[in-house]
Amino acid sequence: MLGKGTWGELLAAGKEKLKEAGVAEYDLDAWYLFEHAFGISRMQYFLCSGEQAGPGEEAFASYESGLSRRSKREPLQHILGTQEFMGLEFTVSRHVLIPRQDTEILVETVLSAHKEKNISVLDMCTGSGCIGISLAVLGGYRHVEAADISEEALVVARANAAGIPGAGNVCFRQSDLFSEFSPETDRYDVIVSNPPYIPSSVIEGLEPEVRDFEPRNALDGAEDGLLFYRRLAEECGRFLKKNGSVYFEIGYDQGEAVSSLLRSHGFKDTEVIKDLAGKDRVVCGRWQTA
Ligand code: GLN
């Protein structure tokens, strides 16, 4: 139970609670929960931190509940309900992977390689919709489609598309990879995907925020982590136009394996692109039928 001293003491108590719970970014997370519960901006806080706190019961209960959920290592984004990605705000829930900053590299790579707007793009394994929606909004592409096996994820993705200006024309489809697609009617210039890619045995060692709260089926890439790349490398060619391209997010040590899977299925010009931390993060390849 938190005491009600000054605003400054209320924030400090929150930080302390999260620190004791082993939350790495306890300082920042306590601030976000404080801001969310009380609606106090940084500037207001600066002016009022020494004053006696007078939050309403509801706001105080919301702060306490946020701190208690975060102490149990529930991700901050599940408590706040949103995550920013490519400058856009996405609703998230326990049914979708929380958009990662690393994944912005994937979106930026596609945007900088495809300035032409008159193309069709597919985001396979879309989750929250963050990749497909960012591409539609920032790339202005003629046709953007997004697919996921999870109906619950698609509910979140559709709501995101409906709420973000410029994303209203993104089409969604429930499909186990390409099970609901037909090469006769569904052909794309670009297929982009951030599939599950963590080896099953690694998942137990992840932070509790990821291991216990994020959807396992958005993370687990089977024994060697490569299951979905194998299926994508096998199937994407049938759904690409001539000279179409694929862009996949990968784990830091999967660059060579995924490139060679693509090459062995007929893709050319494979490239591995690094993230801001200097780690391999994206693999791309071009499909040539001629
Ligand atoms: N990069 C994510 C993580 O670190 C995993 C994303 C994925 O499997 N597609 O948890």
CA of 154 to the centre of ligand 1 (A): 18
List, in order, residues 6 or more apart from 189 with CB less than 8 Å away. Answer: 114, 119, 120, 121, 240, 241, 244, 245
The alpha carbon of 241 and the centre of ligand 1 are apart by a number of angstroms equal to 28
Burial of 19 (0-12, 13-18, 19+ CB in 10 A): middle
**pLDDT (tens digit, 9 = 90+) per residue, 117-150?**
999 999 999 999 999 999 999 999 999 999 999 9
- Ligand 1 atom closest to Cα of residue 194: 9
pLDDT digits (tens, 9 = 90+) for 18-54: 999 999 999 999 999 999 999 999 999 999 999 999 8
Q: What is the separation, in whole angstroms, between the first and last Cα of the chain?
A: 69
Distance CA 215, CA 190 (A): 26
Instruction: Give the pLDDT confidence score for residue 123 in this predicted structure.
Output: 98
Residue 102 token pair = 């690393």
Closest ligand 1 atom to residue 102 Cα is 1
Amino acid letter for position 66:
G
Residue that is written with structure tokens 């408590």 in the block? 79
Structure-block tokens of residue 265? 């299925």
pLDDT digits (tens, 9 = 90+) for 219-255: 999 999 999 999 999 999 999 999 999 999 999 999 9
Give the ligand 1 atom nearest the CA of 103. 1
Q: Is 207 exposed, middle or buried (0-12, 13-18, 19+ CB in 10 A)?
A: middle
CA atoms within 13 A on the CB side of 77: 21
What's the pTM? 0.95
Kind of pairing, strands 240-249 and 267-274?
unpaired
DSSP structural state of residue 137: I
* Two tokens, residue 272: 């591995």
